Structure 1
Amino acid sequence: MDPDTVLRLAHEQAMQYPSVKIDYPFGPDNAVYKVRGKMFMMAYELRGVPSLNLKIDPLDGEVLTDAYAEISPGYHMNKKHWITVAGEGDSAGGDRLDAELLHDLVLESYCLVVTKMSKRDRPVDPDVFGGRGDD
């Protein structure tokens, strides 16, 4: 998936979630997506490539960075709890990022942040929002 499509799809998805607002605390080229004031996604350009930072469970982050060339440890973030998704990675021997995986990553990032909020401040139940917990 090309980097512009990654950013467009992630933006469209994130803006459908309750209580999401975009802020620009790091300048006009860095869109920070927040739920109730807490960051769950950031869109920016990294060396000329449109990129995203997303919150991730540390174990999932390790697996994803090993499996997908488009996913790396979070740029300028805690590399254990954040990943960077840049699109168009070298797929030699690896899987390719697709829209379904991107959807799951954005949803997971949002829900991980919501989980840390007090129950009264949560805009959704993170255990079931977006079909989570329907295993």
Structure 2
Amino acid sequence: MWTADRLRAVCLDQPAAEETFPFSAELSVFKVAGKVFALCALDETPLRISLKCVPEVAVKLRIEYPAITAGYHLNKQHWNTVLIDGSVPDDLVREMIEDSYDLVRAKLPRNVRNTLGDVAPGK
């Protein structure tokens, strides 16, 4: 079961990930090398998290899971918002966080990527 602390921990488990609050004290923005890979209001109930996704996969996930919708206030082609209500398997939520991180990290310049340390466990 997802809690705000667990969601934060999974995001911060990604190598060189940091939590910032550029928009408000209520909105956690998780970044790698200054680039956003997740956004979440950790005091909301139920929790919801916005994550970057490959466009084709994003559409498939939205079709399969009603709790996954186009990114709220984000590029709808590249971002999904996941309602953490128990209808999306925990393993899939974790995988989506890791995939979002990987997509953002892959777009960083090589010299920046080389300074970030190892990729997430299991990658």
Shorter-chain TM band: 0.7 to 0.9
Give the distance between the partners of 1:13 and 1:41, measured in 2 at CA: 11
- Stretches of structure 2 that go unaligned for 5 or more consecutive residues are none
Match of 1:36 among 30, 33, 37: 33
Give the TM-score taking structure 1 as reference length: 0.79
The answer for the alignment partner of 2:88 in structure 1 is 97
Q: Please give the secondary structure, in 2, of the residue aligned with 1:114.
A: helix
Q: How many residues align?
A: 121
Alignment of 1:1-135 (within 5 A): 5=2, 7-44=4-41, 49-88=46-85, 96-122=87-113, 123-124=116-117, 129-132=120-123
Segments of structure 1 that go 5 or more residues without pairing to the other structure are 90-95
TM-score of the two chains, using structure 2 as the length reference: 0.86
Flag as ranges the 4+ runs of structure 1 deviating above 6 A: none
Specify whether residues 6 and 57 from structure 1 end up closer, same or farther in structure 2 by C-alpha distance, changes over 3 A only: farther
Q: Which amino acid aligns with 2:16?
A: S
Instruction: Please tell me whether Structure 1 or Structure 2 has the larger radius of gyration of its CA atoms.
Output: 1
Helix, strand or coil for the counterpart of 1:131? coil
CA gap of 1:98–1:8, structure 2 versus 1, over 3 A, is farther
What percent identity do the matched residue pairs reach? 29
Question: C-alpha separation between the residues in 2 aligned to 1:8 and 1:85?
Answer: 17
Please tell me the root mean square deviation across aligned C-alpha atoms, in Å.
Answer: 2.3
Compare 117-126 and 16-25 and name the one that shifted more.
117-126
